[in-house]
């Protein structure tokens, strides 16, 4: 079942179509990448999902029900542009935001104290937001986003401003939330983070979804039958007619296999010709390469 379903969603500002009949589903309990270049329509979609604005056409369903005024209590949204009040004290700020999401004063205080202990920031309660570094503010923003235990979590560039240690800390919490059944939409320009974290993606460009599916299936879809062969002996002078050498180094070659040929046969060919193979791996395109290829193709149309 999909926790979120968009069906032919349209949003127009004046004469500009920001979202043009976009449809996709976010499966329950998955980490889902919402990708696209600047101006693609991602922010407009997020604003519709979180009920900040309304779609002009189409339907948006959360847990099978049309989104409504109660939807924000079931969603946690951390925007790229952070929204903390600089002059407020951290503890009071989180209490205020938690109660806005429907928590009682007692439940809010208990939840905040638990997160402060988990993040080892118990002495931050009385500090003003402006006294914290950007990375520290990021932690507070994350707590504010998940304090009410949402069904759906939307994270827009969640690792911005974080050092590697705190990036890993937030990654661990994201995976823990997923294990607890939270569905997560992850939006970023960092494709390597998408490959590491996301299980499925949708790619938006010019207001339309141009690519969607499981990350592994998409990479398989765009692979070019290329393999890297590493060895520690001399490469045979004759290369099998099954393949073409694309790149050759002292102890490796990049090979493009002919259409319909079997990679196992290619490997057997080299071994039978006396090559001592140390590694043989298929080269799959990165999401970054696929992203650029698909966006460039659409731009050229």
Q: Are residues 257 and 154 in the same domain?
A: no
H/E element holding 190?
A: none
Residues 54, 58, 62, 68: is their CA dihedral positive or negative?
A: positive
Separation of alpha carbons 203 and 207, rounded Å:
10
Separation of alpha carbons 232 and 48, rounded Å:
57
Separation of alpha carbons 147 and 103, rounded Å:
9
Predicted confidence at residue 262, as pLDDT, reads: 85
Q: Which of 54-58, 63-67, 234-238, 257-261 is predicted with the least confidence, judged by mean pLDDT? A: 234-238
Provide the number of structural domains found in the chain. 2
Residue 301 has pLDDT above 80, yes or no: no
Separation of alpha carbons 77 and 65, rounded Å:
19
Residue 295 counted as domain residue: no
Residue 290 counted as domain residue: no
Single out the residue in 195, 219, 243 at which a domain terminates: 219
Q: Are residues 31 and 149 in the same domain?
A: yes
Q: Which of 117-126, 232-241, 248-257 has the highest mean pLDDT?
A: 117-126
SS (H, E, C) 6-65: EEEEEEEECCEEEEEEEEEEEECCCEEEEECCCCCCHHHHHHHHCCCCCCCEEEEEECCE
In the chain the first and final C-alpha atoms are separated, in Å, by 35
Residue 197 counted as domain residue: yes
31 vs 233, more confident? 31
Predicted confidence at residue 191, as pLDDT, reads: 86
Single out the residue in 170, 204, 219 at which a domain terminates: 219
Q: Are residues 37 and 122 in the same domain?
A: yes
Residue 234 has pLDDT above 80, yes or no: no
224-234 mean pLDDT? 87
Q: Are residues 64 and 129 in the same domain?
A: yes
Residue 87 counted as domain residue: yes
Separation of alpha carbons 93 and 273, rounded Å:
70
Separation of alpha carbons 148 and 157, rounded Å:
21
* Residue 228, domain extent: 224-283
Residue 192 counted as domain residue: yes
Separation of alpha carbons 238 and 24, rounded Å:
49
Q: Are residues 30 and 179 in the same domain?
A: yes
Q: Which of 7-11, 205-209, 264-268 is predicted with the least confidence, judged by mean pLDDT? A: 264-268
Separation of alpha carbons 237 and 246, rounded Å:
15
Q: Are residues 76 and 57 in the same domain?
A: yes
209-219 mean pLDDT? 92
Give the tens place of pLDDT for each residue, 16-33. Answer: 999 999 999 999 999 999
270-287 mean pLDDT? 88
How much is the pTM? 0.85
Q: Are residues 72 and 49 in the same domain?
A: yes
Q: Are residues 191 and 253 in the same domain?
A: no
Give the tens place of pLDDT for each residue, 179-193. Answer: 999 999 999 888 888
Predicted confidence at residue 6, as pLDDT, reads: 97
Predicted confidence at residue 44, as pLDDT, reads: 94
Give the tens place of pLDDT for each residue, 88-138. Answer: 999 999 999 999 998 999 999 999 999 999 999 999 999 999 999 888 898
Q: For residue 176, what is the domain's CATH number?
A: 3.40.50.300
Q: Are residues 198 and 82 in the same domain?
A: yes
Give the tens place of pLDDT for each residue, 22-81. Answer: 999 999 999 999 998 888 899 999 999 999 999 999 999 999 999 999 898 999 999 887
Residue 119 counted as domain residue: yes
Predicted confidence at residue 251, as pLDDT, reads: 87
Q: Are residues 214 and 258 in the same domain?
A: no
Task: Say how far residue 236 (Cα) sits from the centre of its chain.
Answer: 44
138-167 mean pLDDT? 92
Residue 241 has pLDDT above 90, yes or no: no
Residue 291 counted as domain residue: no
Q: Are residues 7 and 115 in the same domain?
A: yes
Predicted confidence at residue 94, as pLDDT, reads: 96
Separation of alpha carbons 179 and 31, rounded Å:
11
The bridge status of strand 31-35 relative to strand 183-187 is parallel
Mean pLDDT, the chain, as a whole number? 90
Separation of alpha carbons 100 and 144, rounded Å:
11
Residue 239 has pLDDT above 70, yes or no: no
Identify how many contiguous H helices and E strands the chain contains and give both numbers: 9, 14
Helix ranges (DSSP H) in 2-104:
42-49, 90-100
Residue 7 counted as domain residue: yes
Q: Are residues 57 and 146 in the same domain?
A: yes
Q: For residue 242, what is the domain's CATH number?
A: 3.30.70
Q: Please name every residue paired with 12 in a beta bridge, in sequence order, or none if there are none.
A: 17
Separation of alpha carbons 170 and 139, rounded Å:
8
């Amino acid at each position: 079942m999909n926790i979120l379903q968009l069906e032919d969603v349209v949003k127009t500002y004046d004469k500009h179509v920001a979202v043009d009949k976009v449809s996709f589903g976010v499966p329950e309990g998955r980490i889902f990448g919402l990708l696209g270049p600047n101006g693609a329509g991602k922010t407009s979609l997020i604003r519709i999902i979180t009920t900040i604005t309304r779609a002009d056409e189409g339907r948006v369903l959360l847990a099978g029900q049309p989104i409504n005024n109660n939807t924000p209590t079931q969603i946690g949204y951390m925007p790229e542009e952070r929204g903390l009040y600089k002059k407020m004290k951290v503890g009071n700020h989180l209490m205020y935001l938690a109660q806005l999401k429907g928590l009682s004063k007692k439940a809010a205080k208990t939840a905040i104290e638990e997160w402060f202990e988990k993040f080892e920031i118990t002495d931050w309660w009385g500090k003003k937001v402006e006294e914290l570094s950007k990375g520290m503010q990021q932690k507070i923003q994350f707590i504010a986003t998940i304090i009410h235990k949402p069904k759906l979590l939307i994270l827009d560039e969640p690792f911005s401003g974080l050092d590697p240690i705190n990036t890993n800390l937030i990654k661990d919490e994201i995976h823990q939330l997923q294990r607890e059944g939270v569905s997560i939409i992850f939006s970023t320009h960092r494709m390597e983070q998408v490959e590491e974290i996301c299980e499925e993606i949708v790619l938006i460009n010019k207001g339309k979804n141009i690519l969607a599916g499981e990350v592994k299936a998409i990479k398989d879809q765009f692979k070019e039958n290329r393999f890297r062969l590493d060895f520690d002996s001399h490469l045979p002078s004759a290369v099998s007619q099954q393949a073409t050498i694309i790149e050759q180094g002292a102890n490796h070659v990049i090979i493009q296999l002919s259409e319909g040929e079997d990679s196992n046969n290619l490997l057997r060919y080299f071994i039978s010709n006396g090559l001592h193979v140390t590694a043989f791996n298929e080269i799959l395109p990165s999401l970054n390469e696929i992203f650029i290829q698909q966006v460039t193709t659409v731009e050229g149309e």
